[in-house]
Structure 1
Amino acid sequence: MKKIVKIMLVLSVLMTMLIVPVSAEDVTYTIRSIVYDNTESSTEAGDFYWDANTFSGFLYMIKPGLSSELLYLHNSVNASNTIQLGDTIEEGDLYYISKPQKKKTKIAGSDDSGTFMVDDVDLEFYYLMGFFGPKYVVMPEDPSAPSQGCKPDKIAKILLESDDKKNVASGEVWELAGCWTLVVDQVDVEGEKVWVHLNYKGEEIDSGVISSSADLTNMEKTYLYKDSDDYPVFYCTVESVFSGTDTNFAVFKYAYLRGDLTTIENGDTYGIFDVEGFEVPALMNDTNYAGSNDQTVLNTGDDAVVLSSNKAVTLNPDEQIDLHGGLYLKTESGNCLKMTLWKTCTIKVDNTAEEENPTEENDDIVVVDLAEDSTEKEENTVSSTQDETEVQTDEETEEEFTVESSVSAPGFELLLGFVGLMGASVIRK
């Protein structure tokens, strides 16, 4: 009998531990590059750089195999030799480069022969680039002809981009992202038209009427809201309209929404870097960095944001050299130079989200691959908060990214049933 009581007590303690929720905390993790080792025979003399192939903290778009970022060390001290322990990378010789990459939008991917000119804005292509890791959309020189190129001095985070279908009933509010909502005011089933208005922080910003008629072009099927410089802020298409028993509703697709613009100017400072310009310097001509096509080759004069170091950096042993946005160089102790590029990232966790929305599914899923030898990188489609990031927006309205936390207890029901059986056994005896 005493033995059974002891077992019951142990099981009760275990069950209590499973019932008490674990308080979630912000998740911090680090990403490491390959090692620069000047004793390796494969290490070439002269300049050296890390790109998305050798450092997974940089943006890599798996489809269609594009990257944009690299950290470039110009060896002006020992140009005929490898970089040595104790060498000083002179001021201006450490570069951060990001080259925008032209890519088809999701709406353009639906029809290669379609028309995507909406209110003098061409939605067929856009430019994407990483900026110290996170992905940004870059504003083109001419919104009506994005293929003409872009100067990467105006960038914005993508808040929403999806080719999923969304059903919205007449009078219903579609929660987009970042305090933006789209309201369906009225659905005209016979005319196959939808009247919508766009809100920001509860205030109406714009409205329009779009049609789902099959014989109309994409231009007339698409609702677009643009800013005063004709840069698209939000757009979506209406695929079809239906009449239900209680209400009418419309089916939307290809929704896109960007955040506030960040302006990058010559002389701006980001950590130990100053903005030097927006063209690839001759020093890096013909540099073939991570990717699978000719778009990932740097040519003199290519559009790119170019940052150079504003102070000298000495590569002493066992030292951490902070760069910007959670990026840092780390050297090992010893008699030869072994150094790596690191990035510290933080995922903000909302402890109250599970209590407030116990049944709501979390649409934002963050997958973190900590395998150091992995060569395949997931495209950054969600924005995790980066430590020490100093990018400033024109309007400080961006919300902190949160991940809902849930505590599961696998096998809990089985344990509860076992405790019940044991209790019944004790009572019977």
Structure 2
Amino acid sequence: MKRFAAVTLATLMLLTVFASAASAQDAVEIRGPVFNGSNIQEIVGTDGITIDATQFAAFFYDINDNVTTETLSIRNVPGNNGNVIGEGGLVYETQIQQVEYEFTGAAGWDNYSVIGFFAEKYIPLKPNSADKLAKLVLDSDDRYTIRTGETLDLGEGYALEAKQVDVEGEKVWLEFTKDGEFVDDEIISVVNENMSTWEVELDDIQDEDDVVVFRVHINQVFQGAVDSIAQIEGLWLIDYANAMTIESDDEFGELNDVS
């Protein structure tokens, strides 16, 4: 679990979240719940108060799996006074949860780790570690058909090309690229549907090795007299090129990472 605690004083009545923690011009103000009381001590009491996505619409919420990961707490600390929260009294927390892939039609497509981070959905580079994150680009069970020589745009500069189909129509050679540059390739057989998923693992992503960055399931391959076609059903991709590492002294707006 990663914990982010306030290091500056803050007012109580309006909770805000930034659409981008790095850019103030992207700030969006979203109201949280209203608490009754004449001062912070009366509102917080001895046990403190905590809100999550059910009370604060800005927090990340996966509606399909009914999963939320973020909370914001106001704690009973010595510096609480009047309408001011004392240092260390405002604590943002988020933790890893599991959600299902959109595509579930083959072995290995069960669950993956997610974490909300300042209202956005991120993927931990390692399933049980929350300090190295990348945004999710694609999680889809849509069906795509690509001919050999054609490229499927995956978003954020990532693409998948069908290079060649074998004469028996049982295998396809795929190439994965980023901004037009080669990343990895593989020949996938569709004889056994449970072996028809290609999983791309890369090294040295924020100093982590064997990071799963891309998954694709090949549903069918067709070799015809005119066209050679691969049918894809099942795509999952993270933006590993823009992954980030959260350090213990990082600041996000008025919050410091103290975990």
In the superposition, the TM-score normalised over structure 2's length comes to 0.78
Query: How far apart, CA to CA, are the structure 1 residues paired with 2:27 and 2:254?
Result: 23
Q: Following superposition of structure 1 onto structure 2, how do residues 62-77 of structure 1 map, counting pairs within 5 Å?
A: 62-77=63-78
Gapped runs of 5+ residues in structure 1?
A: 1-25, 117-122, 141-145, 278-429
Aligned partner (choices 115, 134, 137) of residue 129 of structure 1 = 115
Percent identity for Structure 1 against Structure 2: 31
Q: Which amino acid aligns with 2:154?
A: L
Contact 1:225 1:234 (C-alpha < 8 Å) held by counterparts: yes
Equivalent position of 2:88 in the other structure: 92
Q: Which amino acid aligns with 1:270?
A: F
Gapped runs of 5+ residues in structure 2?
A: 1-24, 204-208
Q: Which amino acid aligns with 1:276?
A: V
Equivalent position of 1:202 in the other structure: 180
Equivalent position of 1:167 in the other structure: 145
Equivalent position of 1:190 in the other structure: 168
Query: How far apart, CA to CA, are the structure 2 residues paired with 1:250 and 1:50?
Result: 47
Residue by residue, what CA displacement relative to the aligned partner does 1:11-34 show, whole Å, maximum 9, x if unpaired?
xxxxxxxxxxxxxxx998642222
Q: Which amino acid aligns with 1:230?
A: D
Q: Following superposition of structure 1 onto structure 2, how do residues 323-338 of structure 1 map, counting pairs within 5 Å?
A: none
Please say if 1:151 is aligned against 2:129. Answer: yes
Bigger Cα displacement from structure 2, 30-39 vs 131-140: 30-39
Equivalent position of 2:232 in the other structure: 252
Query: How far apart, CA to CA, are the structure 1 residues paired with 2:27 and 2:88?
Result: 31
Aligned partner (choices 237, 252, 256) of residue 270 of structure 1 = 252
Q: Give the C-alpha shift of residue 206 in structure 1.
A: 1.0
Residue by residue, what CA displacement relative to the aligned partner does 1:136-183 show, whole Å, maximum 9, x if unpaired?
01133xxxxx5xxx1201111011111101000011111111111111
Residue by residue, what CA displacement relative to the aligned partner does 1:308-342 show, whole Å, maximum 9, x if unpaired?
xxxxxxxxxxxxxxxxxxxxxxxxxxxxxxxxxxx
Q: Following superposition of structure 1 onto structure 2, how do residues 244-393 of structure 1 map, counting pairs within 5 Å?
A: 244=224, 246-260=226-240, 261-277=243-259
Q: Which amino acid aligns with 1:250?
A: A
Query: How far apart, CA to CA, are the structure 2 residues paired with 1:155 and 1:211?
Result: 32
Q: Give the C-alpha shift of residue 134 in structure 1.
A: 0.8
Q: Give the C-alpha shift of residue 36 in structure 1.
A: 1.8
Residue by residue, what CA displacement relative to the aligned partner does 1:265-303 show, whole Å, maximum 9, x if unpaired?
2121112111111xxxxxxxxxxxxxxxxxxxxxxxxxx
Query: How far apart, CA to CA, are the structure 1 residues paired with 2:76 and 2:220?
Result: 60
Query: How far apart, CA to CA, are the structure 1 residues paired with 2:101 and 2:153?
Result: 22
Please say if 1:225 is aligned against 2:200. Answer: yes
Query: How far apart, CA to CA, are the structure 1 residues paired with 2:245 and 2:218?
Result: 32
Distance 1:245 1:28, change over 3 A: farther
Equivalent pairs counted in the alignment come to: 224
**Larger strand share, 1 or 2:** 2
Query: How far apart, CA to CA, are the structure 2 residues paired with 1:27 and 1:139?
Result: 26
Contact 1:233 1:257 (C-alpha < 8 Å) held by counterparts: yes
Distance 1:178 1:275, change over 3 A: same
Contact 1:189 1:241 (C-alpha < 8 Å) held by counterparts: no
Contact 2:67 2:99 (C-alpha < 8 Å) held by counterparts: no
Contact 1:66 1:101 (C-alpha < 8 Å) held by counterparts: yes
Distance 1:90 1:27, change over 3 A: closer
Query: How far apart, CA to CA, are the structure 2 residues paired with 1:241 and 1:60?
Result: 37
Q: Which amino acid aligns with 1:104?
A: E
Please say if 1:239 is aligned against 2:219. Answer: yes
Root-mean-square deviation (Å) = 2.5
Query: Which gives a bigger RCO, structure 1 or 2 (Cα 8 Å, sep 6+)?
Result: 1
Distance 1:30 1:76, change over 3 A: closer
Q: Give the C-alpha shift of residue 99 in structure 1.
A: 1.1
Equivalent position of 2:49 in the other structure: 48
Query: How far apart, CA to CA, are the structure 2 residues paired with 1:135 and 1:189?
Result: 42
